[in-house]
Amino acid sequence: MSIRDPAALRRLEGLGWFARQPHAQRQALLQAGQIRALADGIWAHGEGDEETGLLAVLEGSLRTFARAPGGRTALIGLLPPGSIIGQSAVFGGGPRLVTAISAGESLVFVLSDRALRAVAIDHPALWQDLSQLIYRQLEVMVRTLAERTALSPRALLANRLLMLSRAGPDIDVGQAELAEMIGVSRKTLNVRLAELAGRGLVRPGYGRITVLDRPGLQRIAVAGDAEADLAPGLPPVA
């Protein structure tokens, strides 16, 4: 459902990439886009959609999925408030790369390729700014791949919790979902999460994890297995 929400637009003005745009260009983008209220399970867009553009999460969160070999659909991420993703056919790309589905009720801001083209008529520098956003997405993807290769499950978990709690301490995510996102078994996730909870860094709940100590998680994300004193007595899990 498309709505007009002046308060949401004001929040959007201060959001990441949008906040860095020149004032006139930012206002043109806000006028050209749409705010959509999504119920739980509603698709924001699907992998393979020809219509591209930008999407910003204002409230709630979106799960992102991609097709994997064998016809399997893999959960690859959770977009908390403040996240901005997207692409444009102007740069020679193809259809949407991921499916984004609302996790609970959410509020998103959508800028279609058509809207971007219209804004760029009066603000041609928009394309350079958009290329910086796309580069940032590529940078995050490469760093995530490097982390999956180099970090221990404990450090992977700490790092992902830091990413998901940027907008606030409460993360609406199930433990099975979190395990899938970081590529570990549910058993491994449960043990590592219990370690963090035992140290007072997080508080697990039903469908939610609350981050209590970001600096503590940052130390673990950096130190990895060097934090050998973490929750002594718990069995090592690969």
At 182-221, the pLDDT tens digits run: 989 999 999 999 999 999 999 999 889 999 999 999 999 8
Mean pLDDT of 121-145: 92
Most distant CA pair in the chain, distance? 63
pLDDT value of residue 91? 78
pLDDT value of residue 231? 42
Mean pLDDT of 162-179: 91
In the predicted structure, residue 237 carries a pLDDT above the cut 50: no
Residue pointed to by tokens 């893999």: 74
Say whether 145 sits in a helix, a strand or coil: helix
Mean pLDDT is lowest, of 89-93, 120-124, 125-129, 149-153, for 89-93
C-alpha to C-alpha distance for 193 and 76, rounded to whole angstroms: 19
In the predicted structure, residue 120 carries a pLDDT above the cut 90: yes
In the predicted structure, residue 74 carries a pLDDT above the cut 50: yes
What average pLDDT is seen over the chain?
Answer: 88
pLDDT value of residue 47? 93
C-alpha to C-alpha distance for 231 and 154, rounded to whole angstroms: 11
Q: What is the DSSP letter of 147?
A: H
The residues near 163 (Cβ < 8 Å, ≥ 6 apart) are none
- For 5, the token pair is 């929400």
C-alpha to C-alpha distance for 228 and 219, rounded to whole angstroms: 12
Asked whether the beta carbons of 44 and 160 are under 8 A apart, the reply is no
Query: Within 10 Å of residue 86's Cβ, how many Cβ atoms?
Result: 22
Verdict on whether the full-model pTM lies above 0.95:
no
- For 158, the token pair is 């700490």
In the predicted structure, residue 1 carries a pLDDT above the cut 70: no
- Nearest 5°: phi and psi at 222? -80, -40
Q: What is the DSSP letter of 211?
A: E
Say whether 104 sits in a helix, a strand or coil: coil
Asked whether the beta carbons of 57 and 79 are under 8 A apart, the reply is yes
